[in-house]
Chains A and B, each alone.
Chain A
C-alpha cells in the first residue's frame, strides 16, 4: 500500500469505528495497519503524550487541543508533519523523532481521551 492509500484506509477504518478508542479496554486496531506495523498501544501512547502536554494543555488559540480527535486525523497529521507535507517547526521534529508505530500509539491515546469541553 502506498502511504497515501494507507492514510485513506486508516481514515476510513477509523470513521467506521467512530474514530474513538474505548478508554478502559482499548481494542487492538484492525484493518489499516500494514503487516509490519504493530497494533496501536495506547499505554505507550500515554507515555509519548506526556511530552505533548507541555504545549497542548491549554486549549488556547495558539496551540490546539488534541483529546478526542479521531485517530485517523491525528495519525494523518503526524505523518504529514514527519514527511514535511505539512510544515511546522516543532511538529516536524517531534513527528520525525517518533517511529511510524509510535505515531500510531500516540494518535490512539489522544483519540481515546474525552474531548475537553
Chain B
C-alpha cells in the first residue's frame, strides 16, 4: 500500500498561519526560517530510524529534508539471520535510497564526524558543513572494542565475525558456516543487556542449527556462550531447540561464563569467559558489548553514558531540543533496540517535529514493537508490546508473547506474519 499520507491539507489549512508560532515554539533562531526558506531537517543514518523519520517528516511538504549515510545503501539486520540459515537471499537485504530521493529527500553519502551545536551544523568526515534547523541522529550502535582483549575490528573483518551489523560480516559468517565439517563446533558469544535485538542471537543460533541440519551436519554442535543468566523468549527457544535440533545446541549461561568475556584468541580460536573458563570453536561468532553509534555521542549528547537520553514524547535529546535521537542509539526507556521500535519512534518524532516546526496538527505519541523469531521453518514466535510516553521515559503499556502450548498452525501463521512484516516494513522505511 501507499504509506498513509496525512492529507496535505493538514498543513495548508492550519500550518502556514502558525509558522511564526511554530518557529518560536521550537525555541531558536532558525536560519532558514529567518530567510523565509523551508526549515531544514538533516538526518544522520538511513537505517530504519533515520529513513523512516526522513520519509514521514517530508510527507505533506514544507520541510527541506537531507538524509546522510556513510553507505550508498542500507543492509538490514532483520532477516540477516534467515540469510545465515539459507532461507533468504542476501541481495534482498540490501535497501537502496532511490525511492527516498523520489520522495524529495536529498541523499548525501558521507560520514558525520563532528557536530557544531552552537552553529547548528553537522560536519562530515571530508570537512563539509551541513547546516540544520533541526537535526536527527539515528546512527545505530558502535561496538565496545576495548571491552574484550584480543578482539579488534581487523580480527572481526578477517577471522571472527560479529555479524551484528549486516553486510560483509554476515557473508563472512555464512561462508565459515558453509565450510564447517560435520562434528565441528560453532561458538556464538552473546553480551549482557542492553544490546541490539534482544532475541537476535537466539534466533541466529536456531537458524545456524537449521543450516547445519538441512545440510546433513547433525553431529555439529553450537555452543551458545551467554553473559546473561536468562534471555528473551527463553522458554520458547528452549522448547524449539529440543523439538527441532535435539543435542545440537548447548546454552552456557552466566554461571559458567562468569557473566561476560575476558579475552579472545583468534589463532587458537578460543574465547575465555570472565570465569576463566576457555571455550573452543571451529567457527566463532563473537557479538561484542555495545553503545550508541558515535554520531549520537558527539557534543555531550550521551553525557557520561553509553546511550543518548531523549524525551519520551518527542525523542528530542535531553540535552538539546533541536536534536532528535532515535532507534538503537537512544536511551528512551522500555522499548527494545529493534528495527520495529526505531520505525515506530520515527513516526511519533516526525509528527512532533512537524507540529513544532510547521505548526502542523499535533497528535499524541504512540509506540509499538513486535519482534518475530524464526526457530525452524514453519515454527516462529513473537514478543511485543504497546508503549506510552511516560513522564520520565517510554513505558510499556501492554505486552504479549507467544506461548509454548501453541498449535502448529499458530506457529505457521506467526511465520507468515514475520515475512509479511519484513516486506511491509521495508516499504514503510525506504519506500
The 8 A CB mask of B392-431 against A (1 = contact, 0 = none) is 0000011111100000000001001111110111011000
Q: A57-B424, A62-B420, A90-B400 are in contact. Are A43 and B4 (CB under 8 A)?
A: no
Given A50-B56, A62-B421, A109 and B400 touching (CB < 8 A)?
Answer: no
What residues of chain B lie closer than 8 Å to A51, measured between beta carbons?
Answer: 344, 347, 366, 368
Interface assignment of B179: CB less than 8 Å from any CB of chain A:
no
Across-interface contacts of B397 in A (CB, < 8 A): 93, 97
Say yes or no for A92: interface residue by CB 8 A criterion: yes
Q: What residue of chain A has the Cβ atom nearest to residue B48's Cβ?
A: A54
Q: Is the CB of A93 within 8 A of B344?
A: no
**Are A54 and B428 in contact (CB-based, < 8 A)?**
yes
Determine the main DSSP class of A at the interface with B. helix
B385 to chain A: which residues have CB within 8 Å? 93
Tell me the A50-90 residues at the B interface (CB within 8 Å): 50-63, 65-67, 89-90
Residues of B within 8 A of A60 (CB): 416, 419-420, 423-424
- Of B9, B368, B398, most A-chain CB atoms within 10 Å: B368
**Range, interface on chain B:** 35 or more
Query: Do A93 and B386 have beta carbons less than 8 Å apart?
Result: yes
Give the bracket for the number of chain A residues in contact with chain B: 20 to 34
Q: Is A94 an interface residue (CB 8 A)?
A: yes
A43 and B7 within 8 A (CB): yes
The answer for the CA separation of A53 and B423 in the assembled complex, in Å, is 11
4 more A-B residue pairs beyond the given contacts A58-B420, A60-B423, A97-B398, with a C-beta to C-beta distance below 8 A: A58-B421, A63-B417, A90-B384, A113-B4
Residue ranges of B at the interface with A (Cβ–Cβ < 8 Å): 1, 3-7, 9-10, 56, 340, 343-344, 347, 351, 361, 363, 366, 368, 370, 382, 384-386, 388, 397-402, 413, 416-421, 423-425, 427-428
The contact sample of 26 A-B pairs, CB cut-off 8 A, is: A43-B6, A44-B363, A46-B7, A50-B351, A51-B347, A52-B4, A54-B344, A55-B421, A56-B1, A57-B1, A57-B428, A61-B420, A65-B1, A67-B1, A89-B384, A89-B400, A89-B402, A90-B368, A93-B385, A93-B398, A96-B398, A97-B366, A97-B368, A97-B386, A97-B398, A113-B4
